[in-house]
Amino acid sequence: MTSIKKWWPTPVRSLFLFLVWILLNNSVEFFHLFFGLVLAWLIPQLIYKFRLVQPGMKNPTAAIRYGLMVLWDIVVANLQVVKLVLGPNKRLRPAFIKVPLDLTDNLSITILASTVSLTPGTVSAEVLPLNASKDEQRFLLVHVLDLADEAELIRQVKQRYEAPLKEIF
């Protein structure tokens, strides 16, 4: 471990902690600056050994595109859900589907599950099997408010959300 890494193991987290401390106190007095700096140094020192190593972002531009795409999908899905809810409830076809995952790291799977849950009309319920090894096939169990075509929905989740996440991480 280099000298800088020893003193500041997670510099971005330290900067974030410092800024949040200053914003919470709404003050730039010496005491608040000093105490914020101490906390920004101390907290990462204390939790560094407990931290799970996450994959690095390979393509930040793809991450920005992904975020904008998800925001757009949320708006569109909200309009679709309003149309479904205000229409006759007999037309709704709720279902659970299992989406096979190509992603292997927990961070990417968590982001995918969160994306599915943020998009109205779908909720990710579970990753199956929960304690899978790296070689074991995982599935994302998704509840859908109105399922027209299971294969099409699986293809859409894999192409629209999972493929960009594989590019990002």
Distance between CA atoms of 59 and 166, rounded to whole angstroms?
10
The total of structural domains in the chain comes to 2
> What's the pLDDT at 48?
84
Which tokens in the block code for residue 34?
């000093």
Domain, as residue range, for 89: 60-168
Task: With a cut of 70, list the residues of the chain below it in pLDDT.
Answer: 1-2
**Predicted structure pTM score:** 0.77
The pLDDT, as a whole number, for residue 120 is 94
Q: Is residue 94 part of a domain?
A: yes
Which residue is it, tokens 């190509």?
Answer: 102
CA 127 – CA 138 distance, rounded (Å): 7
Quote the CA–CA distance of 86 and 63 in Å, as a whole number. 34
One domain for residues 89 and 148: yes
* 71 domain-assigned: yes
For residue 5, the model assigns a pLDDT of: 75
- Examine the domain organization and report whether 96 and 153 are in the same domain: yes
Pair (24, 82) in one structural domain: no
> DSSP characters for 72-90?
HHHHHHHHHHHHHHHS-GG
For residue 55, being part of any structural domain is answered with no
* 70 and 33 inside one domain: no
In-domain check, residue 130 = yes
- Looking at the structure, do residues 79 and 141 belong to the same domain, yes or no? yes
| pLDDT given at position 1 | 56
Q: Does 124 lie in the same domain as 72?
A: yes
Asked whether 118 and 61 are in contact (CB, 8 A), the reply is: no
- Alpha carbon distance 136, 131 (integer Å): 9
Sequence length of the chain is 169
